[in-house]
Amino acid sequence: MTSKLVQLLAAAAFITSCTVLAQTDSNAAALPSAPSSPAPAVATGTGSRIGTINIEQAIFASNEGQRDFESLSKKLEPKQTELKSQNDEIESLKKQLNTQGEKLNDETRGNLVKQIEQKQKSLERSATDAREDAQNQQNEIAQRILQKMAPLIVKYAQDNSFALIFDTSNPWPQGPILWADPRSLDITKTIVDAYNTQSGVAAPPRPAGAGTKPAGTGTKTTTPSAKPAPPPSQ
């Protein structure tokens, strides 16, 4: 069995969609309430244009998102090291059982097997707890950013005569959008740029040679480089 820690920068299930009602009065914009079920439209207005935005990508691509998820990844490194150490110990015991099992008496062999099983269960519990904790912290970061980003989306829709803006975070058939031309419709990069300006958070430094694909080109923006180390195999 393979116990996997959460992949912090992978597609997040916590945000399949966000629904925000853009009131006719540009001064009244409803904040999202973190819906529990998918909804096709991110924002609705009285204009005639239809656009798309990858909410998930916008959150991760923002300077604030990159900074906070990078920080979370580093925060979780000690737990990953701990899990790896536990896994290495189990693998060592398994190797001992495989190489010396036939030479051991029944009692000694049985104790070794029991020890492996107990440590295996302990590792699985620890990995599950760590995964849930990481997911909860990831969700908190994303929801905090979304609460501040949503009014920008609504205002942009109102100011640019959009009737609907759809969330393309989940590709079809998981999401409602079968196909959309990102060259003419996608506003992800525009919203990310606006949010970066509003937040005042500087872009994180990037390793030499690293680059980020611009949002809205039909491919996902390169996510921050800090990805958790591979989880221990069991």
Check residues 55 and 219 and name the one with the higher pLDDT. Answer: 55
Per-residue model confidence (pLDDT) at position 185: 85
CA–CA dist 150, 129 (Å, integer): 31
Per-residue model confidence (pLDDT) at position 207: 62
CA–CA dist 145, 54 (Å, integer): 14
Three-state SS for 112-123 is HHHHHHHHHHHH
CA–CA dist 199, 192 (Å, integer): 10
Would you place residue 208 in the very low, low, confident or very high pLDDT band (cuts 50, 70, 90)? low
25-34, 47-56, 157-166: segment of lowest average pLDDT:
25-34
29-43, 85-99, 108-122, 162-176: segment of lowest average pLDDT:
29-43
Calculate what percentage of the chain has a pLDDT beyond 70.
68
Q: Answer yes or no: is pLDDT of 13 > 50.
A: no
Q: Answer yes or no: is pLDDT of 227 > 50.
A: no
Measure Cα distances from 200 to 84, 108, 234 in Å.
Answer: 38, 63, 44
Bin 161: left if φ > 0, else alpha if -120 < ψ < 50, else beta. left
Helix (H) or strand (E) holding 16: none
pTM: 0.66
As given in the structure block, the two tokens for residue 229 are 């180390």
Per-residue model confidence (pLDDT) at position 44: 55
Q: Which single residue is written with the structure tokens 């079809």?
A: 172
User: Domain coordinates of the chain in residue numbers?
Assistant: 13-199
Q: Answer yes or no: is pLDDT of 3 > 90.
A: no
Would you place residue 46 in the very low, low, confident or very high pLDDT band (cuts 50, 70, 90)? low
Total residues found in the chain within this entry: 234
Mean pLDDT (whole number) for 183-206: 90
Per-residue model confidence (pLDDT) at position 116: 94
Check residues 213 and 72 and name the one with the higher pLDDT. Answer: 72
Question: 47 in helix, strand or coil?
Answer: coil
Mean of per-residue pLDDT scores for the chain: 75
Per-residue model confidence (pLDDT) at position 45: 57
pLDDT, tens digit, 9 for 90 and up, residues 126-174: 999 999 999 999 999 999 999 999 999 999 999 999 999 999 898 888 8
Nearest to 10, CA basis, from 228, 231, 232, 233: 228
Q: Which residues touch 157 (CB under 8 Å, ≥6 apart)?
A: 22, 43, 44, 45, 47, 51, 165
Strand-strand pairing, 49-53 and 41-44: unpaired
